[in-house]
Structure 1
Amino acid sequence: MATMKDVARLAGVSTSTVSHVVNNTRFVSDEIRERILKAVADLNYSPSALARSLKLNQTRTLGMMVTTSNNPFFAEVVAGVERICYQRGYTLVLCNTEGDPERLSHNLEVLLQKRIDGLLLMCTEARSASAEVFGRHPAVPIVVMDWGPLNTIADRIQDNSALGGYLATRHLIEQGHSRIGLITGPLDKLPAQSRQQGYRQALEEADIPFRAEYVVEGDFEFTGGISGMHQLLALAEPPSAVFAGNDVSAVGVYQALYRAGLRVPQDISVVGYDDIELSRYLTPPLTTIHQPQAELCRQAVDTLLDRIQGADDAPRLITLEPKLIARESVRSLK
């Protein structure tokens, strides 16, 4: 296997000049650059990523921890993060937690031992992860994406879920609905709490009494939407509209209504949250709250790269603003 010294010998230059051309770290004349590149091609030379990482103390690799879920939102975010990493010249290593704090701690240890330059966290189990794991690798910067909180110092990029919940509920109120059900996510998770907060704020502003029986705790999964909708339909006075805590739950709501012989939106209106790609292909297309996924991914990666490059300001909290996407799943009662 050819080495940098072999390339330098064939091209008639120093190894440092070869290094500058290979790593594009200093100007080298076109004539010398062409000689070096020809030697590289002739010798089939490939720079050692390991050697380069040891010399620069960087691997140009980011780690990401994400909760395994049926929710396409996570898959779409991971794809967006990987795309931004590629554009920035970094490789992404992904680990799933499957909701298990022990697996989270194990995978964290493995990633940190592999000398990743930085870590993205998008998993609620991070709250119970051992601070000891992070303490053993204090130099590795961390950015939390939306889901947390986290028991270590880190930057956070998050959706304004309270505003999103408010926008969803206010839209239903503006369409004449006053009996509005809510199927939340797990209420030990911050996004679910915040979306319920927005729901209650919109009701209060409209002088609509809060009815505890209209709020059902779900799990942000398809099955939670199904079971939650069944509970609401069993009430003596079911709601005329439902705000599902995320789009996956809304798909479950659609299924439950179909099984009950009810139609969206003629019988019950539905609003979701996230604006996953699937939402526009439902029948009817789902009115939902759009999370700015592209901005979430870009801000998370760029904030992490800022830390890797030495930014030492106080931990940042970047809040992204959701917006309502009105489609065909809400009926006006006016």
Structure 2
Amino acid sequence: MATIKDVANKAGVSISTVSHVLNNTRFVAETTKERVFQAIKELNYAPSAVARSLKVNRTRTLGMLVTTSTNPYFAEVIRGVEETCAERGYTLILCNSGGDPDRQQASLRMLIEKRVDGILVMLSEDATELYGLLGTHPELPQVLMEWGDTQGDIYRIQDNAEQGGYLAAKHLIDKGHKAIGCITGPASKSLTVERLAGYRRAMGEAGLEVNPAWILEGDFEPEGGYAAMERLLAQKDRPTALFVFSDPMALGAISAAHMAGLRVPQDLSVIGYDDVPMANFFSPPLTTIHQPKYRLGQKAAKILLAKVNKEEESNKVLTLHPELIERSSVLDLA
């Protein structure tokens, strides 16, 4: 395997000149550069990434810590991050915490040991201890994204969840539905509180009664949607339409309805939230509220790269604008 010394000998230059050409750390004449690159090509020389990172104090590697990489919402965000990193010549190390605080902290320590140039943290649950650990490394560029209040260097995701909940419920109302229930996310989540507030606002504007028995708590996952639908089906009186607070939960709910012999939308209309890629392939295709997940990932990566390159962005709020995507899972009763 060729070394940097072999390249220098073949090009007739010093080792330091080859290093400057590779790292662009000093002016080198074009003719000299050409000789160096020609020698690199002929020798099939591959510079050591480790050695280069020690030299320039950069690894061109970013770390990303997420709650779960399998949830379709996060998967689309991650794709936006990955592709932006690739476009800028960076490698991304992805760590899936599975919601386990110990795994979160172990992953963070690993990323720091790998000498990543920056870390992007995107978690859906409370991570106070993790943020405290990150605070002990203020020299490391960080973008900490959460759906709560902005504090310090945390970039807040403002997804207009109340407006999204309003759009979902209003669509069902506009289609002639009056008996409308919800399968929510965990009651402690701000997303749940805001989407439920939007649902209540739409119902109030239409003069419709909210039946507490038809508001069932889920967990944003298919299993939670399935279990909540089973609880709803056990009730004597049922709604004609259901607003489900995530598309994966909607998939679980529709599956449970089908198992009980109900047809969607003929017997029960369903609207989801997030517009994950699979939503168009549900049976029937799911009407839902779209969020620009891929663009969010792009923006998050660009913010972190700006911090890495000391080009700080002042905007600490990433605003998402929900949009109704109408497909075939809502029956028109109007």
Question: TM-score higher than 0.5 here?
Answer: yes
SS in 1 for 2:94: strand
Shift in alpha-carbon separation, 1:141–1:132, aligned structure 2, 3 A: same
1:138 deviates by 1.1
Q: Which residue of 1 aligns with 2:295?
A: 295
Is the contact made by 2:186 and 2:192 (CA closer than 8 Å) also made in structure 1? yes
Give the alignment of 1:127-166 within 5 angstroms: 127-145=127-145, 147=147, 153-166=153-166
Q: Which residue of 2 aligns with 1:173?
A: 173
In 2, distance between residues paired with 1:232 and 1:263? 15
Structure 2 unaligned segments of length 5 or more: list them. Answer: none
Q: 1:50-98 CA deviation, whole Å, 9 max, x = no partner?
A: 2222232221111111123753222232233212211111111111111
RMSD: 2.3
| Range with bigger deviation, 88-97 or 194-203 | 194-203
In 2, distance between residues paired with 1:220 and 1:128? 22
Structure 1 unaligned segments of length 5 or more: list them. Answer: none
SS in 2 for 1:183: strand
The share of aligned pairs that are identical, in percent, is 51
Q: Which residue of 1 aligns with 2:223?
A: 223
Amino acid at match of 1:285: P
Is residue 63 of structure 2 the alignment partner of residue 63 of structure 1? yes
Q: 1:124-153 CA deviation, whole Å, 9 max, x = no partner?
A: 345243444112211222223455568763
Is the contact made by 2:79 and 2:294 (CA closer than 8 Å) also made in structure 1? no
Shift in alpha-carbon separation, 1:144–1:291, aligned structure 2, 3 A: farther
In 1, distance between residues paired with 2:84 and 2:264? 37
Is the contact made by 2:275 and 2:288 (CA closer than 8 Å) also made in structure 1? yes
| Range with bigger deviation, 38-47 or 310-319 | 310-319
Shift in alpha-carbon separation, 1:214–1:309, aligned structure 2, 3 A: same
1:328 deviates by 0.5
| Range with bigger deviation, 49-58 or 175-184 | 49-58
In 2, distance between residues paired with 1:198 and 1:191? 11
1:13 deviates by 2.7
Shift in alpha-carbon separation, 1:153–1:315, aligned structure 2, 3 A: farther
In 1, distance between residues paired with 2:328 and 2:230? 22
Shift in alpha-carbon separation, 1:10–1:69, aligned structure 2, 3 A: closer
Is residue 252 of structure 2 the alignment partner of residue 249 of structure 1? no
1:185 deviates by 1.1
Shift in alpha-carbon separation, 1:124–1:73, aligned structure 2, 3 A: closer
In 2, distance between residues paired with 1:88 and 1:126? 31
SS in 2 for 1:129: helix
In 1, distance between residues paired with 2:48 and 2:27? 22
Q: TM-score, structure 1 length as denominator?
A: 0.91
Q: Which residue of 2 aligns with 1:111?
A: 111
1:226 deviates by 1.0
Q: 1:257-276 CA deviation, whole Å, 9 max, x = no partner?
A: 10111111111110011111
Shift in alpha-carbon separation, 1:46–1:52, aligned structure 2, 3 A: same
